[in-house]
Amino acid sequence: DAGITQSPRYKITETGRQVTLMCHQTWSHSYMFWYRQDLGHGLRLIYYSAAADITDKGEVPDGYVVSRSKTENFPLTLESATRSQTSVYFCASKPGGPISGNTIYFGEGSWLTVV
């Protein structure tokens, strides 16, 4: 079924470990995004990518690394996980061009707990 697939859906890790959250989309959308959602803050943009090999920081990029070697994949890596990175992470995508006239579609989320 077409759409956005995130994995793992649930992950518990220890402080200091490296964690990678995977995101795969089947729409061939140009843009892909990573948001985190926390109580009291809502959805905040971590990183986004306009195309393969083009990435840019969002509102809260510190502690995260992204890459995009293929259009359909956009992994998010926490290089050394901290408890403050316990959150729900959403991958999203949209077609190319400005947001006006398009919309962003979200995956089901990855629940990450750092202990």
Partner 1 sequence: EDQVTQSPEALRLQEGESSSLNCSYTVSGLRGLFWYRQDPGKGPEFLFTLYSAGEEKEKERLKATLTKKESFLHITAPKPEDSATYLCAAPGAGSYQLTFGKGTKLSVIP
Rule CB under 8 A: which residues touch partner 1? 4, 31, 33, 35, 40-45, 48, 50, 58, 90, 92, 98-101, 103-109
Q: HEC string of the chain?
A: CCCEEEECCEEEECCCCCEEEEEEECCCCCEEEEEEEECCCEEEEEEEEEECCEEEECCCCCCEEECCCCCCECCEEECCCCHHHCEEEEEEEECCCCCCCCCCEECCCEEEEEC
User: Taking the complex as a whole, how short is the minimal distance between the CB of residue 32 and partner 1, in angstroms?
Assistant: 10
Q: Which residue's CB is nearer to partner 1, number 8 or number 16?
A: 8
User: Taking the complex as a whole, how short is the minimal distance between the CB of residue 53 and partner 1, in angstroms?
Assistant: 16
What is the rounded distance in angstroms from the CA atom of residue 104 to the CA atom of residue 48? 12
Q: Which residue's CB is nearer to partner 1, number 17 or number 41?
A: 41
User: Taking the complex as a whole, how short is the minimal distance between the CB of residue 40 and partner 1, in angstroms?
Assistant: 7
Q: Which residue's CB is nearer to partner 1, number 14 or number 62?
A: 62
User: Taking the complex as a whole, how short is the minimal distance between the CB of residue 70 and partner 1, in angstroms?
Assistant: 20
Q: Which residue's CB is nearer to partner 1, number 35 or number 85?
A: 35
